[in-house]
Structure formats: C-alpha cells, structure tokens
Structure 1
C-alpha cells in the first residue's frame, strides 16, 4: 500500500481551515455608533447619556488605555426569525490570546451585564442558550418581538504589552503612551452558528491532533488517518454544510473507541488566571474580572458538567462593587457546585517577599471575606504563578485550614527539574501539605491533543499514580475557558491512546488522588524557582514601601490594643482595610516590580498613603493613651512597638541619646536615657580613620573610603579577609536575555566596576556616635556612603544615598568575611533556612541569587556574623577566592541593592534612594532579630509622657521565640491575639509574660479553637504562660482579659 501520510495530513489541515471559515453564517450587519470617554472609565448611566458618532467598519479607535462605548442596534430579518441567532463583533482582534489586547463588555439596552468579547470569545447567543433564556425569563429578551436588537458595549483600547517585553516602551505609562489609535474596528453583525460544521471542526481538531501525537508505526494512528480521510471525502463530495453531518457519523466511532485499561485520569478544571495587575493597571483588572466572570457564569449555565476554580477574594470584592447582578450569578454557580473558590488568599501573593505575618493575613483576610460573602471556606491553596515558594508556606497554609496545594511555576526552572508532580511538601517546621503540579506544565491550556499527550508523557508518578489536573482556560489577562475547550475535554473522555479527561472540581481530583497514592514522595524545604531572580530587587521603592507598611501595621495594631484599654475604639475596619490594601500590593507582579510603569507608580503612591494613614491611627491611639493616663503633655516619650528590648542610640531633640526601652512598652525620654558603657572614640591617621567603642573596631582607608578592617574586640578576631575591602559598591552589567525586570542572570558576575573613587570624605563624632561620610560618583550616578558606629553597639551600620541613573546595571555591595561558613542561614517567614554556599551540584549552582527577609547569618562552629537589611531582599554568598598556596575559608557576601531593567517599565528605580544595612558581630539568631528590629521597627519619639509596661514579652528558658503580632481578635470581642514563632530551629521552652491576667487558649490563624492543641495551657487566668515549641512552630494564642 502506498504511503500518502503527509499528503493526507496536509489535506486534513486545510480542511480544518475551510471548516473554521464556514462555522458562521452571516445574516446582516448591525449599526454601530461610538463615544470615546474623555478620561477614565465611566458608568453605564453616564455613557448612555453621551453623544455618539457613526462607527463604521474600518474605523481606527482605541488610543492606549482609552475607553469607548459603542451603541449597537439593528433588526433581525423576518426570514431568520426561527433560527438561533448570535451577536458577532470584531473590535480589531489580532492573534488568538484573550486578555492582552482590546476587550469589551456587552450590556443590555437597560444596562444589565451580558457577556464579554475577546479574540477567542466574540459571539453571544441572543435567542438561544442558557444566558439568553435567563433574560427572556426575566422579561428582557435580547431580541424584541419585532426583531429589534439594542446593545451597549464598553470597549477597552488596551495595548498589547506582550509585544514589548523584549525592550523599553512608553506604552505602559498613560502619560507617555500617546494618542494614536491601536485597533481597527472590523464590524458587528447578526449571525448563525452552523452547529454541525462547528462540531465537525472540533471532532477533527481532537482526532487529528491525537493522530499527530502517536508514533508513526502506531496502528491506531493509521486508522485515525484513514477515518479522517473518509470524513474529508464526505465533505468534499457533499460540500461543507451538507457533508458535515455524515462526516461526523464516520468519526463518531473513533471518538468512542474506548480508553486503554492503563489510561491516566485527568481532571479538567476550568481556570482563568487574572493577574491583579501586570501589563495593565489595577483599574483595568477590575474590568477584566467583570468580563471574565460574565463569560464563565454563562459557560457554566450552558454546560452543567463544567467546573471552574477561581482564587482571590479581592477579585470577588471588585466584582461585587462593580456588578451586584454578576456577583449573584457567581453565587448561584457556587451553590450549584460548578464554581469553586480556591486559594483562600486575598490575592495570589508573591511567596518570597512578604513577611510571615503578611502571608498569614493573606489567608485571614481572604478566607474571612469568602466565608462572609460567598458562604465557603476553601481548603486548596491555589497559587500557580508566584516566583518560588517559601519553606514556611506549608505550615502557614495548614494553620489556615488548607489541605492541598496546587502550583506549576517550578516547571519554568532553567537548570533542574523537580522530581515530582504529586508529592508531600514538607516545610521548615515539619508540616506537610499534599501538593500537585499539573504535568501539562501550565495553568492555561486549551485542551489540545498536544497538551493532553504532553501531560500524559510528562507525569512523573505515572508508574505509581494515575491522576492529574488539566487546568484549562485563557489566563494572565483573564478570558477564561471557552465552549471549544469544554467540547474538546468531553471528546477526550473515552478515547483510545489518550488519557481519560473528565470535567471536575479540585475536590474531585485531590480526594481521589490522595486516596490512590497516600505514600507519595516528600520534598523538604523551600521550592526555589530557578528563574525570575531579579524580582528580589527590581523597583526598590516597592520593596521599601512594603517593609515600611508591614512594620507600620504591626505597630498600629499593638498601639490600638493599648489605646482600646482606655475606652478608645479599636479601629477594626480601618486596620482591615489597610491590611487589604497592603495585601493587594503584594500580588506576585506588583511587589516584585515586574509590572508596567503605571502599576509601579500607583503602588508607590499607595504605599505612601498607607503609611500616612497608619501614622494617623497611631497618633490617635497615642492621644487616647496620653489623655487616659493623665500624663504630661510636655516632654517626650519613647515607644517601642517591637518584640525586642532595645538599647540603642537615636536622635531626639536634635541630639544623639543612648536609650533603653523594653519590648512593646513606652517610657519617658528622661527615664529611658542611660549612660554608655562603651563610648565611641575616633582616631585619625594619615591614611586611615579608626572608630572604636570597646566592642568593635572599624578602620576606613581614607584613600578609597572603604572599610579595610572590622575587629570584634570581645572575641579578638578580624572579620575581614586579609587584604580585602568591605562595603565596596560594584556596578555589574545586567543584560538578561529575556524578561528584563524579572531576570538576573549569572553572567553579571563575569565583570563589574568597583565604585571606589572618592570625591569627598568627612567625619563626625561624639561619645555616642561616630560617622564617616564618603561621596562618590560612578557611571551616571552619585553615591553617598555613611559608616556609623554607636556606643554600646556590636553592629556597624552602613547607609547609601544613591541618585540612580543607570541603565542595564545591577548594584551590589561586597563583604569579604573571614568566617568559615559552609552555609548561609537566611531569615525567611517565621524562621530561617540553610542554603549551601559551595556550588557543588547543579541545584546549588542554579541558586546563585537568594531571597531573604531581614538578615542572613554566616557561622562557623563558635562564631557568626549577620548582615541585616532594611529593605534589600536579594543577596548571594559564595566561597572567597583562594589558590593552592594560600588556603581561604572565608566567604564573599553580597547584598543586591538596585537594578535598572528597562521592561516592562523603562524607568524603574531612576532617582534617589536611601538604603540601610548593617554588619552584626558575634551574631546569634536572637541578636539578629534585635538588630533587624532596630533597622525596621524604629523607636517612636512622641510628645507627652506615658509609661506603658510591656504588653507581652518572651522570656527564654532555653531557645528563642519571637512575637510577630499583638492585636485584638477579629470577632470584636476585645480578646487579645498574640502570634509567636520559634526562631532557632530547635525545640524551645519559653515563657510568655503578659502585663495582666487573662485566660489563654490556642487557636488557628482565623482565631478559631483547634482540635488538637500543641500546648498544655493553664485552665485559670494567669499572666505567665509556659510554652514548649517545636522547631519553627507558629503559635497563635487568644487571651481573654475581661
């Protein structure tokens, strides 16, 4: 038999193209008039009252980020009165991906939301289907009795920013995007879908796609090819419309061929990943939510077996604000069991940069909102697109009631492949959560045969497990699942040589998968993404704003607790709103700095506003405390909102003072001032300046302004490698080959320009503080470095004031340390993680840039130093260079201070920055936390005198614990909630000391009682609680002090 395989395959490909062109039969064009909104989007009521102009096909429209309203009218010819009629509209769509270009929302004549239009979803049934039936039943048919049609369309002229990810563009800033129209309107019409032609196109799409995935020698492939050829013969003989039905009959047997006995089971779950902001601003995401959700609820009504999983309480809240009617349709879909709220978080947060308490509040704010407004409490953490996952997440998620975790982002790794798709993920404290990575390696598949077969082949557990998830639906910019995708999934239900695809819910998958494979493998520790390492540093104002907001929220909550004891109302609503606004800014494309300029600018302004409102709340609380205590309105008090006892130098009344203030307490400045035990002295030499306080000795070479010696005088050891310089700024080239704002690639290490030239050097000194100020200029930027040593301090503080004007460069600061560390202990959320310094394996080598919270500790058996930062998350540590003649056991530790990517924001970080970090000598975990509190939660200097004892403090028996939050309970009871975590990574016993008696109970993150308490707590009221904590345990206590 002659082989015509390639010829037949080409013929089938052309047949699909012919069929696609004939799916729609045009009836008549519709008349369209338009009005361009002069500014930001407006309501339907305002739009309907505007003056409209003719808008014929071919009209160019849509300057970047503009909004247009279209008024669509027409009459259905009587000759088509009995047919199933659609609205079809083309705004000028290019390509086929929904959500990254022009989009629109269609409304009825009375302004009720109908459905959205995008490149893959541009038809709306007007007199057929569940959506049209709903409106007809409610007395508002979409086609009037006389055939009249009237619709309104809100069209978004969004630029396709995906076309500009490779280089700078001004389109991402509305001030510079220009006014040239981007889209050419193609027209609106009434049409009929030829369902048999559409069905045949789908049948061939699935069978042809499967055939091409099978081995060339496969018998099934040959038979599929023959069946497709016979179907093509039928169409060619009778014509497309007449031949579609008979051709489908030929293919029916192939679609019902029966799956192999070993076929994998794939649960197809509809999904619409909507980035809360990214290549579009926040205001556009609100509209994307409306558009996407409107399409999904319509699809759910049309297909009763369809299921949809959707995250982010913020998105539901936006929907409720934008359209109560659509929100109620979503609620109906939830009640029918088709729509499944998942994730439980306020937004799909970044999972490295936010603090532990922020991740807790992602869950508490998200879950509480969903429980109140949707009537559900999700138990699946659904976080598919964040840039790596902290090792603290399993414990946080389980304490929030999550049973399962779904993601896929680590499929983007560039060097190493995670060895599992279905496994237990064990966090740093030993908590495990059942985890699934879909083997299709994406969250937005279209249910093509290529994707289905890829998932089947890729599934790493296929020898011991048979189930996986197939998430489908257009994503990133929304869009969601389509009818074509659902139809494909149905056709893969029972097909030979293909997985059995079943439309289902997350619970359908996870319940069965865990039951079928209970002894899954275990992955321990963090899940590091070998990609997107630049986001730890990009857009520094966002990192700084986030750290300041987190500190301000903690301080405001504690001060509000203290003020509430005086009768001052606890600001529940204001604090929750401020938390929600902060949580939104921690979305995984906002806080990382990987969004367009509009998003970055808006987020920076919002962080500033949040900080101002927090300051006002703290001012109000302080005034209440001042009035209730009868304290003097003259004088000054020092307020310590942190969990650490503080002894440090600060500036009060324009002079440095050494003060001592207990944790979570307030003292008058007079009572807080103490005499130094170790005052500072400065020695000036010809080429050096030496600052010493009896604990630490710091020497600065005046020729280059660099630190050439740091001596721990107590331990009598030099901390810098011989002949090396510390606090050296280095400018490295930063040219990633893709994803500019996201990527920091290893080649930056190949070269670098030290910033060593000094333009000015000055010294200031007193017994309490000595400073060396060094001015420099390099590249296009200027730098002012300040080195500070305070009385009684074991830390050397460094600050850099930068006027940054670089392009494609990354700024690092070097510390060559004479410490024989084999690993770096980096603080993460609720603990720390040990990361190897040597790059002995491909996993180590790929981990050349790390993300931490406030400190990294570098230790040899009996000594350690810590680098502590104020808002610099990215860093790296490598073995110090040596040779065969001079063994070197030290390390080079570097903080990553600034980057200057050019896409998608062409001007991030340009301008002035103030960066602060310190080197802590003879460091321990406990002292690193104290130093981190000094840099990140400064003592507050407040007018008036109030004495506040420590609200809560930790007294170690053995081990270390840290207080993370002191607040009032969510339920308004007035109960105190205290969250702590074990910080050493060891079993610890500590005492929690309260300033007044209370009844103490253990609760979960939502402050509900837990079934299996970990602590034996006193049954009666007390102010002293003994606690035994496992390594890195998070413990939430509720204290009733009424």
Structure 2
C-alpha cells in the first residue's frame, strides 16, 4: 500500500503539472504590444495613457530598477471563440515563486478606468461580458502601468545591494516580457485543477493509517484514469465526476473552524519607497474589488488608514470602487490605526494618535467604527496597548508575528491580554502562522495541529492572500475555501469578516487564559537600534509636536493666537506614517531612510516655526527688555507649575568646580555629586553626597563605549543574536583629554575608521552626570554600546514605555527571561535597591541591556555589579548597505539617588529644551496638576475646532493617585473623553478645579470648555 500511495502521489504531481494545468488555456493568439518608458518617476495616469508608444514584442527587455513602462496590448477575439470564456494572459516577466517583491502592473481601459492588477500569481484579465463569455470578434485594447521594482530580497544569503535607492541603482533592464496573449479559459479543466489540488494536499496531511486518506487516493486514481491526456478538455468533466463523492463527504462535527479573511498585508514602505506603496495599494485594491464583483461569498479586509488615504488622493478611480465595496459591507476596513506601526518605540502620544487618526479616518470616510486592532507583522507589542485599544473604542486585538519567536513558543492562540494598568483586550494569534495564507492543505492542517486552545475554543482566523504587491486573494484561494467549507478530514473554512470571527470566538471562550505584560518578540531585537537618524528624527518630532500643541493652545487661550489645526493634523500624519514597522525600526531600503531624514528635517523646521510663533505671541513685544524661559516639562519638582514661563533672572545656580584628578584625569563637583574621570576619559566615580554612597561599581568604569562584532545569522538590520557578546572591545584609548572653559571634560577617541568625541559634565545643582556623544561612524557589522556598571543589587529594571514603565528581570532564571537580552526603553531605565536607585536617561536611543555579576568577597569589595548599557549604533549591510554611516549625536545622563518619579522627570527634561524668548511678564501654565505622580502628556485644542482645551494625563509611578487639575482659565463643562475626544462622562469642577482619582498607569483624557 505504501508503494501505491507514493506512485499515485508522483503520478498526480506529473499529470497535474504537465498535462492538466497546461490545458486550462487550450487555445491562444498573440496580442500586439507597444510601450512607452517613462523617463523618470511615475507619471499621472492620464499622461501615461496619452504617451506615444513604440512597438515591442514578447522577449523584449524592459524595466531598469524603479522605472515605469506603459504597455499597450491590442488584438481581436477570434470569431470562432464565440460563446467561450476568454482572458488576456499578461506576463511581464514574473517569477511565480516570488509573489510581491518584483515587477507589478495595473491594467486600465482606454477611458482610464482601472481593471485589475497584474502579479506573479494573478496574470489574467477577463475579456467579454459576465463570466468572460465573448460574442467573437471583439476588439481588445488594454493599457498596463508596469513597475520595474527590482528584486532585493535574496534569502540565502542576504546580499548587500545598491538597488535599494534610485540614486545608486544601475539602469540595466531587469525583466523580459514573457507572454501577451488572448486565450480561451476552459472552466471545467480549471475546476478539475482545484479539485485535484485540494484533495491531493489533504491526502498528504492525513496519516497513513487513516481510511480517509486511502479513500481520497483511490478517488484520485480513478480521476486520473478518466483523463485522456491527449484530450484533457474533453474528459475533464468525467474526471471531476470520479472526485465528486470524495469532495462531498462532510467534515466531522468536531472539526476545527477557520474564518478566512481576504487580506493583502502591504508594508507601507520596506524594500520599496513610499511612492511605490501607493501603487501597490492601488493594484491590490483594484484586484480585490474586481474579485468581490465575481465572488459573492468573498470578504476582504484592509488595514492602515494611510493606505486608504493614498488611493483617495492618488488613484481616485480605484478609490471610488473601494468606497462602493465598503458601503456594501464586503470590503472591510480593519485595524483602526493610521499605519500598522511599530509599537515598541513610538512615544505615548504618538501611539495614542495612531488610533485617533486611524479611527477618525474610517469614521469620516465610511461611517465605520473599527473594533479590532490588526497588527499581524509588528515586531513586538507594548504593554500599553490594551488600555489604548479600549480607550480608542476597540475591543479586539490580532497579531501573527509572535509565531516568529525563536526561543519560546507562545502558549496561547486565543487569550485575554492584560496591559500595564490592568485593562484586558480579547486577543487572537492565528495558529495558521502566516498572514499570507493561501489555504493550502499544509497550512490548514498546521492550524488545526498548532491551535493551543483545543477543548476550550473551536475556531481560528486565517488572513488569506498574497501581500506586499502579490495582489491579494486569488480566485484559486476562494475555490479552495469552497471545497473546504465542509470536507471530511479537514477543518471547516468559510470567508467572513474579522468581526464575525471575534464575536463567535469571544462568545464561546470568554473565560480564555490571561497573558500579562508586553508581547515580546524573541527576534528582531536590533530594530531598536538600526538607522539611528530615523529614530532620532522620530523622537525629536514627537517632542516638538508636544511643544507645538502646548504653546499654540496656550497662546490661543491667552493671546488669541490662531491655532494651526490643519498644519498639526498634517504633521501628525507624517510622523505617524514614519512609525510604520519597517521605517522607524530601521529595516527599509536606503531610499526610505534617505527620504525620512529629509522629511524629519522639514517637520522639525515647521514645528519650530509654530512653536516660535506661539511663544512670541505669549511673550508680547518684549518692551520690558527681559528674557522669558519657557519650560514644556510635564510637571515641576515638588508640585512646581508645569508648562510655564518665567523670567530667566529668577533662576539661580550653584557653581560647579572642576580640576585635575590625582593620577590623571579630572574631578567635577557640583555639590550633590562628585564625579571622577580618569586618564582614559572614563567615569570611575560618581559619589552621591546625600546618600553617602558610590554609584559606579568598584573597579569598574562608567560611560564605557564597547564595540562588538555584529553579524546575525539571518536578518541583518533586524537581528542581533546573543553570541554578539562573545567578543567585545572596550574603547579606552584616548586621542585627547581636556577640561573645557565651561567645566566639562572633553574626550576624543579614534577606533577603526571612526571617531568619537564626548563631553562629560555635572550641571549646576543637578543630581545627574550629563554625557554628550558625537560619533563619526564608519564601521561595518559592528555594534556600539555605552556601559554604566552600577554598584547596585536589583533583580529588575523599570524601563519607560508609553504612559508608564515596564518591569523586566535582570536575571536569566528562565528561558523567557534570558530571551530578553535586548529590550526597549523610551526616555529612561531605572534600577533600585530599597531607598536608593539610579536612572539612565537618554534623548534618542531605544535599545538597552542589563546584566549582573557578583563580586568576589575575597576582593574586599563584595556585592553586585549591575550594568546598564545603551545601544547607540549598528552597521548592518542589508537592506541598506550604508546603514548609519556618518555623524551622530547622542545625549544621555546618569542620575544617582533617583526614584522612578525622578527618572520620569529627567527623561522629559533631556528631551524638552528650555526656550528663551524676549519678554518680561511671566506666563502661567494653561493647566496645573498638583501631584508629580500625574504626568500631563498633551495639552491641545480639541480636534473638532470648537476651541475646547483637551488635556491628557496619566499616573506615571504605578500606584494610586489623587490629583487636582487647575485650568489657567475659567472652565466651563468638563468631560472625560476617549482618545478621539468623544465624551464618556462629565466631571464636576469645583471652584474651577477638577479632582481626579487615578488607578496605576491610568490614562485620562479631559475636554474642558472655556467659560
């Protein structure tokens, strides 16, 4: 029997590939082809359609990297084909094994209306009326906007390439036209192909001792016997009859249920620039709206409001079809975010605004309140997300990427995810382990075997379709689903909306298990460091937006300043776009990051202009001759007012002393702290006078730059593998060491092909050591870290995340702990023993690691050394071979004797500048909060233009807080709102003050009318 099985499977494979599949199109005639090669960037559709063509032919080369060619195909349907189904087969030179990641096309009619996309697994265009039936003799004239995106992704190995930027790519043609024909589609043969594929794949997944497997095998044998290999079309119906009983056998009552959702995961930028994503989305949505018209059972879901907005702006003819399909309820907007953003690195307000702008777009465009958050491909998920999901009016969460973890298998597929503050969101992680499912027998069987909630739940979801330019769901996938709807030996498969799946899953499994904290991806950890300029641009833009909103709102209320609603809306959407999960993580091609740098510079300039205009309005004409100091920090120390401006003269500072150190180096002293920098330019002591203890571990040195070899096993820009720690070079050689006139220590080092200059200082009266590091970086496949070994025994770190902080262990007791050898922190990392802690704060880094060693008691310095290291720079070569080359500036600080509250304050301080503006009258804060545990994350005017003041705040220490918010203006009604500023309830304001009681890490949004 085993030999029978093997022979039949081999026979099926050969007959299917060499005889039956080629017979799907039994007759064809060539089309005449002409072309116009656009000389530069893509042109508008009307210009491409009107351009003069020159004749070309199948086999002709076309397509320099990133070029666009407009092809026209023309012909006539043979009259003898009357009554038959006819399609144009248009192969631009595709590799069918790489759907997406290569050339693509969008077909237009002569009037400019879109038809559908062309992709490696979707090369056909229907000719004729419904069903493709022709009368014979029809003229055929189609235009193809063809994009010559170069193949950049080469898995074994990842090869560095200059193709990732139009400025560095060569101009050699990349493709050859492969087929341009009119052909007859034999629908019966096509259906036979689907029958055989589904049964053959199901058979392969069933066990050898399964009777069902042998039933299918015998049915396949009979069908192959029925096929006349010299007349496949004439005998296909007979072969299908032999398969019909096997296809009619119903699934078992206990069969797993799969909700297939048509989908095409399209990265908003990755191995292509942003401008190309606009066209990828247009091609895919044209495909999907055409398929919706043909297939009444089909449902398609698309995420990312930005992608809808792109086609609305750039391809209105496609967008009109999308809006119609959305109105019919079968093209389903999902996700509720502006883009599928990274969730580790965006700041608090930025992550909140992803939901604000995404959900608002869907509400305004379609009247749809999206209820599921759709993030299949993001590289880990912040513990702040559950609360934000619920505050945005959503209630479900979907991810797929956790299946990529390399150390530990995540234990659930359907579960409640509990965030920082205790908020829970019902979550699904599809066991099919792909967000590009084609519903193959292997994938469906894997989903059943893999599903962790057997016995408690019965269903899972399968995002189905080719992504990233692959064209989305295909008619072949729909044919599979029809056959798998009720088929013995398989899970039941049905296409339906994500909301339908979640409603059913929630109803049957409300008592699902709970996962608390972040969803940490045990892979792609280097995304916290790659492309430092992009990350710095993001951080700077986030804080400038905070200032722009705050000062513009304050000036609007105080001085009648015109609040820049439209400008801020546009800038926010630009910043949110660049938080997409391949842009901010640094894993896109060089073109993307080159453009991002220019965009961030423009954003910063415009925001500085807004800030400057608002401050000038607040300061007045400056006739008093004084200078105002504006501070946008979230709160002062000890209840001091936030968001205020005061005369500079009111600020006094104690002097800092600096002098030589015995044995070499320098000593800095500002009163609270005494720091020693040795002859190597390393910080060997930071003594805290108040606590009477040393910060730096005995025998160690802080602010130590360390260089590692960094060549991960696979994903260059994405990964750092733990073995990188096996080799390290401490950068201790000094090119120069001097004391500046300002009392700072300047250290210059040279290493490899690079140079670093650091300024080490103790600000007057402050309890912190500041370090400014400028690196001229020209290394390859290296990893640069800044180490701070602390004399501190701590079993966990507090790392800032959105609207709070997350605790992670410093030990490696379990494989789960050990896997977090590189993790994310925003503005601070904090460690403490009871009564004394240390914070390391930064202005632009995200990756960090913490390790512990125990010092030998025999040395006379027993204790624990806990080392915090900030990740500064990497130098991967794929997909951008010149990643991070050039000059970078980092600022970070060591803060001894720091509580978590101190870490919060210092983290904001290092990121928010103090601004001096000519003027003399103090400017009171627009809002004041009397509890330092409560941080104000945003002050702005309401997005609807009504003039109300919106304040978002959160409890930052992880405890309960009672606070009083006092507006700096006469308040009217005060409402508690969701993130979209929609009222959830009212709050009483007594004597113009609002009393608040906050849970740990609770986020509260207040909308305050002006009386």
TM-score normalised to structure 2 length? 0.97
Q: CA deviation at 1:633?
A: 7.7
Match for residue 899 of structure 2 among 895, 900, 924: 924
- Hey, what does 1:108 align to over in structure 2? 109
Deviations 1:120-150 (A, max 9, x none): 11101121447x79xxxxxxxxx89952111
1:868 paired with 2:841, answer: yes
User: Alpha-carbon deviations, 1:521-572, whole Å to 9, x = none?
Assistant: 0000001000000000000001100000000001000111122122222111
2:154 corresponds to which of 154, 163, 185: 163
Residue in 2 that maps onto 1:1041? 1010
2:714 paired residue number: 738
Q: Does 1:891 align with 2:863?
A: no
Deviation for aligned residue 1:669 = 2.6
Partner residue in 2 for 1:598: 591
| Correspondence 1:666-681 to 2 at 5 A | 666-670=645-649, 672-674=650-652, 676-677=653-654, 679-681=656-658
Q: Which residue of 2 aligns with 1:714?
A: 690
How many angstroms apart in 2 are the aligned matches of 1:301 and 1:633? 71
SS in 1 for 2:807: strand
> Of 980, 1000, 1007, which aligns to 2:981?
1007
Q: Do structure 1's residue 697 and structure 2's residue 690 form an aligned pair?
A: no
Equivalences for residues 955-970 of structure 1 within 5 A: 955-956=930-931, 960-970=933-943
Note if contact 2:712-2:719 (Cα within 8 Å) is conserved in structure 1.
yes
CA distance in 2, matches of 1:598, 1:449: 39
Q: Helix, strand or coil for the counterpart of 2:306?
A: helix
Cα distance in 2 for partners of 1:22, 1:525 equals 55
Distance 1:741 1:760 in 2: 33
Post-superposition CA distance 1:8-34 (Å, at most 9, x none): 110011122022211113331111111
Question: What is the DSSP-based 3-state SS (H/G/I as helix, E as strand, rest coil) of the residue aligned with 2:500?
Answer: helix
**Aligned CA distance change for structure 1 residues 1022 and 473 (closer, same or farther; 3 Å):** farther
Q: How many Å apart are 1:814 and its aligned residue? A: 1.0
Identify the residue that residue 136 of structure 1 maps to in structure 2. Answer: none
* Aligned equivalents of 1:13, 1:23: Cα separation in 2: 16
The 8 Å contact of residues 27 and 192 in structure 1, kept in 2 or not, is answered as yes
Q: 1:408 aligns with which of 371, 387, 400?
A: 400
Q: Say whether 1:638 aligns with 2:613.
A: no
Number of the residue aligned with 1:790: 763
Which position in structure 2 is the counterpart of 1:821?
Answer: 794
2:572 is matched with which residue: 572, 575, 579? 579
What is residue 1017 of structure 1 aligned with on the other side? 987
8 A contact 2:371–2:396 mirrored in 1 = yes
Q: Equivalences for 1:142-291 in 2 at 5 Å? A: 147-163=138-154, 166-236=158-228, 239-291=231-283
Q: Distance in 2 between matches of 1:978 and 1:74?
A: 64
Q: Is 1:69 matched up with 2:70?
A: yes
Whole-angstrom distance in 1 between the partners of 2:783 and 2:135: 63
* Matches of 1:737 and 1:173, distance apart in 2: 25
Any conservation in 1 of the 2:37–2:70 contact (CA below 8 Å)?
yes
For the 8 Å contact 1:682–1:765, the answer to whether it is kept is no
Q: Deviations over 1:795-849 (max 9, x none)?
A: 1001111100000000011111001111001110000011000001000111100
Q: How do 1:38-77 residues align onto structure 2 when only pairs under 5 Å count?
A: 38-77=39-78
Answer with 417-426 or 613-622: which moved more: 613-622
Cα 1:240–1:783 change in 2 (3 A) is same
Pair 1:613-2:606 in alignment: yes
Aligned to 2:472: 480
Query: Is 1:1027 matched up with 2:996?
Result: yes
Q: CA deviation at 1:356?
A: 1.3
Deviation at 1:888, TM superposition (A): 3.0
Distance in 1 between residues matched to 2:368 and 2:944, nearest whole Å: 18
Q: Distance in 1 between matches of 2:661 and 2:864?
A: 32
Distance 1:263 1:117 in 2: 36
**Residues 182-205 of structure 1 deviation map (CA, whole Å, 9 limit, x = unaligned):** 101113111121111110000010
Judging changes above 3 Å, is the alpha-carbon distance between structure 1 residues 403 and 824 closer, same or farther for their aligned structure 2 residues?
A: same
Instruction: Give the Cα separation in 2 of the matches to 1:105 and 1:54.
Output: 20
Matched, 1:853 2:826: yes
The 5-angstrom pairing of residues 223-372 of structure 1 reads 223-236=215-228, 239-372=231-364
- Contact persistence 2:633–2:912 (CA under 8 A): yes
Partner of 2:531: 539
In the alignment, is residue 830 of structure 1 matched against residue 817 of structure 2?
no
- Say whether the 8 Å CA contact 1:273–1:478 is kept in structure 2: no
User: Partner of 2:864: helix, strand, or coil?
Assistant: coil
Q: Does 1:723 align with 2:721?
A: no
Q: 1:991: which partner in 2?
A: 964
Query: 2: distance between equivalents of 1:641 and 1:3?
Result: 77
Match of 2:11 in 1: 11
Deviation of 1:96 after TM superposition, in Å, equals 2.9
Greater alpha carbon shift after TM alignment, 232-241 vs 719-728 = 232-241
Q: Report whether the alignment pairs 1:520 with 2:541.
A: no
TM-score, normalised to structure 1, is 0.94
How far apart, in 2, do the equivalents of 1:36 and 1:926 lie? 61
Deviation at 1:1022, TM superposition (A): 4.1
* Equivalent in the alignment of 1:682: 659
**Whole-Å separation in 2 of the counterparts to 1:15 and 1:434:** 47
- For residue 76 of structure 1, report the CA deviation from its aligned partner: 1.5
Residue 810 (structure 1) aligns with: 783
2:750 to 738, 763, 777: 777
CA shift in 2, pair 1:380/1:758, >3 Å: same
Which has the larger displacement, 678-687 or 849-858? 678-687
TM superposition shift of 1:885: 4.5
Kept in 2, the 8 Å contact 1:422–1:437? The answer is: yes
Aligned residues: 1005
Q: Kindly state the Cα deviation for residue 337 of structure 1 after the two structures are TM-superposed.
A: 1.6
SS at match of 2:740: strand
CA RMSD of aligned residues (A): 1.8
- Offset of residue 48 of structure 1: 3.0
Map 1:490-509 to 2 at 5 A.
490-509=482-501
Q: After TM superposition, give the deviation of residue 507 of structure 1 in Å.
A: 1.5
1:884 and 1:166 map into 2 onto residues whose CA distance is: 48
Residues 239-268 of structure 1 show CA distances to partners (whole Å, capped at 9, x for unaligned) of 311111111111111111010121011111
Distance 1:568 1:803 in 2: 42
Moved more, 827-836 or 937-946: 937-946
1:76-115 alignment runs, 5 A limit: 76-115=77-116
Distance between the aligned counterparts of 1:146 and 1:849, measured in 2?
Answer: 66
| C-alpha distance after superposition, 1:566-590 (max 9, x if no partner) | 2222111110000000000000000
Following superposition, the deviation at residue 696 of structure 1 comes to: 0.4
1:604-632 per-residue CA deviation (whole Å, 9 max, x = no partner) reads 11111111111111222233334xx4542
Which moved further from structure 2: 797-806 or 471-480?
A: 471-480
5+ residue gaps, structure 1, are 134-142, 648-659
Q: SS of the counterpart of 2:541? A: helix
Moved more, 725-734 or 941-950: 941-950
Distance change >3 Å, CA 2–CA 617, structure 1 → 2:
closer
Show the counterpart of 1:653.
none
Return the alpha-carbon distance in structure 2 between the equivalents of residues 782 and 372 of structure 1.
Answer: 52
Q: Which moved more, 1:374-383 or 1:588-597?
A: 374-383
Q: Is the 8 A contact 1:821 1:891 kept in 2?
A: yes
What stretches of structure 2 of length at least 5 have no aligned partner? none
Counterpart of 1:624 in structure 2 is 617
